[in-house]
């Protein structure tokens, strides 16, 4: 659909674009990525014919772009740029109607019924029908962008070329526009070539991407290229962490500011305070912990500051937290039938790593474990640590004959386990049961359960 061969071009005698080759396939959404000054807009203008080509060629549908007339190009492709300049007091509807010009016939170029039908359709899908009689110069930047997109769609092009189409849009209208474009791509076979700055948005909507750096492609391929953290750090000069989107099989990127990586470590004992009543246990940390848990509130991998267990029958846990002014958005919390005054509190230090565990149990059946560790775990170590804690729990329950190792599961459906990390200190990449840290986790969990069960036995006797 678009073919670029050994393309060289730019504004000066020193070309910005240096011998690029690129093929954009029919019906795909292709995103061009790169930092400011990398040559994205220059390449865009070379492809659209807005800048002269020094050498090489650009072909559209098998024909060199230089050989196409303006009318032929307008029938094949529509262009949406960041530059919004309208000299006359056109209304929104008049601006959009200009998109029908390549399809109009005759000397006077009158709008046909078909033209008006298309204009109405694109105004509806871009949600600007109520602006139709408003002068273009009077509407907001985001509204102008949607009007110009409607004008481009009114051309009914085979190819849509977009230079930062979401530049003036808020989150809502960014996703509305890109959802619209993706739908047009999938239903009509529209080919989309777009410059995008937001890497996460590009990952969600593009089929393929190209990473441009100093006028050359570092790599071209599918969006999984965005998982290459070292390459992105080289290009954007920012520390990047790639992770998977929770519901879409695409990567998403997190950027880490310098001020955070240089923050000072604090003594573990000074980071938290514990409040215990007959109704609840509340552990509050001054700073959020990186957590993994299966708690009723705050399950999964999160950053949380408040850790609660409430005693009593199951009811609206969130409402109960509001009663005590505990923000549920920053909390992990569970309901339990256990008597909270009988909780077990254990601390341990292993190789200068401080650990703390709080355990409650109901009749040795339902067990709630919270473990807090003053260390920096990778995501892999976080999972390892959770497994080490689970293994220690199972071992303790088996050895104290609370479960049958041959027939019973390793706990009940109401058991909860939380692991929280301060994420300060040297990075630990493994916390499995065979490592020093994993052994420490196992020991503190086993010891806390042993103490809890011994209390139950004392009450029986």
Q: CATH no. for residue 426?
A: 3.60.70.12
The CATH number covering residue 99 comes to 3.40.50.300
Residue 403 has pLDDT above 80, yes or no: no
The pLDDT tens digits of the residues spanning 164-205 come to 988 878 899 899 999 999 999 999 999 999 999 999 999 999
In a domain, residue 263? The reply is: no
Together in a domain, 320 and 366: yes
Over residues 414-433, the mean pLDDT reads 92
On average, the pLDDT of the chain sits at 88
Distance CA 165, CA 247 (A): 25
| Structural domain ending residue among the three candidates 200, 226, 256 | 256
* Candidate from 67-71, 131-135, 170-174, 308-312 with smallest mean pLDDT: 67-71
Together in a domain, 328 and 447: yes
CA geometry: angle 206, 208, 209, nearest 5 deg: 90
Together in a domain, 92 and 120: yes
Residue 433 has pLDDT above 50, yes or no: yes
Together in a domain, 243 and 379: no
Together in a domain, 217 and 281: no
In a domain, residue 379? The reply is: yes
Q: How many domains in the chain? A: 2
Distance CA 285, CA 330 (A): 11
Q: Measuring CA to CA, which residue among 88, 114, 2 is closest to residue 49?
A: 2
Q: Which pTM does this prediction carry?
A: 0.83
Together in a domain, 240 and 276: no
Report which listed range, 167-176, 220-229, 249-258, 444-453, is most confident: 220-229
Boundaries of domain holding 400:
268-460
Residue 141 has pLDDT above 90, yes or no: no
Together in a domain, 41 and 123: yes
More confident residue, 400 or 306: 306
Please give the pLDDT value at position 73.
85
Distance CA 369, CA 185 (A): 50
Together in a domain, 183 and 37: yes
In a domain, residue 352? The reply is: yes
Together in a domain, 299 and 376: yes
Together in a domain, 145 and 201: yes
The pLDDT tens digits of the residues spanning 209-248 come to 999 999 999 999 999 999 999 999 989 999 999 999 989 9
In a domain, residue 51? The reply is: yes
Together in a domain, 248 and 370: no
Distance between the two ends of the chain, CA-based, in angstroms?
83
Together in a domain, 166 and 89: yes
Q: Measuring CA to CA, which residue among 199, 252, 386, 157 is closest to residue 211?
A: 199
| Structural domain ending residue among the three candidates 223, 256, 289 | 256
In a domain, residue 262? The reply is: no
Residue 62 class from Cβ within 10 Å (0-12 exposed, 13-18 middle, 19+ buried)? Answer: exposed
In a domain, residue 94? The reply is: yes
């Amino acid at each position: 659909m678009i073919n670029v061969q050994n393309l060289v071009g730019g504004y000066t005698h020193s070309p910005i674009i240096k011998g690029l080759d690129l093929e954009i396939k029919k019906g795909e959404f292709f995103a061009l990525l790169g930092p400011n000054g990398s040559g994205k807009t220059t390449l865009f203008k070379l492809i659209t014919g807005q800048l002269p080509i020094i050498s090489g060629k650009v072909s559209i549908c098998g024909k060199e772009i230089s050989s196409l007339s303006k009318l032929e190009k307008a029938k094949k492709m529509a262009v949406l740029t960041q530059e919004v300049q309208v000299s006359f007091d056109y209304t929104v509807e008049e601006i959009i109607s200009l998109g029908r010009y390549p399809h109009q016939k005759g000397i006077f170029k009158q709008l046909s019924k078909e033209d008006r039908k298309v204009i109405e359709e694109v105004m509806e899908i871009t949600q600007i029908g109520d602006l139709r009689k408003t002068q273009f110069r009077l509407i907001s930047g985001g509204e102008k962008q949607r009007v110009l997109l409607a004008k481009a769609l009114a051309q009914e092009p085979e190819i849509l070329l977009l230079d930062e189409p979401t530049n003036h849009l808020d989150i809502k209208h960014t996703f509305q526009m890109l959802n619209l474009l993706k739908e047009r791509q999938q239903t009509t076979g529209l080919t989309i070539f777009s410059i995008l700055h937001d890497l996460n948005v590009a990952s969600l909507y593009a089929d393929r991407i190209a990473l441009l750096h100093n006028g050359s492609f570092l790599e071209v391929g599918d969006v999984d290229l965005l998982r290459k953290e070292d390459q992105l750090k080289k290009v954007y000069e920012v520390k990047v962490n790639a992770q998977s989107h929770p519901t879409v099989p695409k990567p998403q990127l997190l950027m880490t500011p310098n001020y955070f990586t240089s923050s000072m470590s604090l003594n573990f004992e000074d980071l938290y305070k514990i409040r215990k009543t007959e109704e609840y246990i509340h552990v509050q940390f001054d700073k959020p912990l990186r957590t993994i848990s299966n708690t009723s509130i705050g399950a999964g991998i999160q950053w949380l500051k408040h850790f609660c267990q409430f005693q009593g029958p199951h009811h609206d846990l969130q409402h109960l937290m509001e009663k005590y002014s505990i923000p549920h958005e920053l909390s992990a919390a569970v309901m339990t039938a256990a008597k909270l005054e009988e909780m077990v509190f254990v601390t341990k230090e292993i190789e200068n790593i401080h650990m703390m565990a709080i355990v409650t149990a109901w009749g040795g059946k339902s067990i709630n474990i919270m473990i807090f560790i003053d260390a920096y775990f990778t995501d892999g170590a976080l999972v390892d640590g959770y497994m080490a804690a689970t293994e220690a729990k199972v071992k303790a329950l088996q050895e104290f004959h609370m479960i049958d190792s041959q027939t019973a599961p390793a706990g009940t459906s109401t058991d909860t386990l939380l692991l929280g990390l301060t994420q300060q200190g040297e990075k630990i990449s493994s916390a499995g049961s065979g490592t020093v840290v994993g052994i420490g986790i196992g020991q503190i969990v086993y010891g806390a359960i042993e103490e809890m069960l011994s209390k139950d036995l004392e009450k029986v006797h």
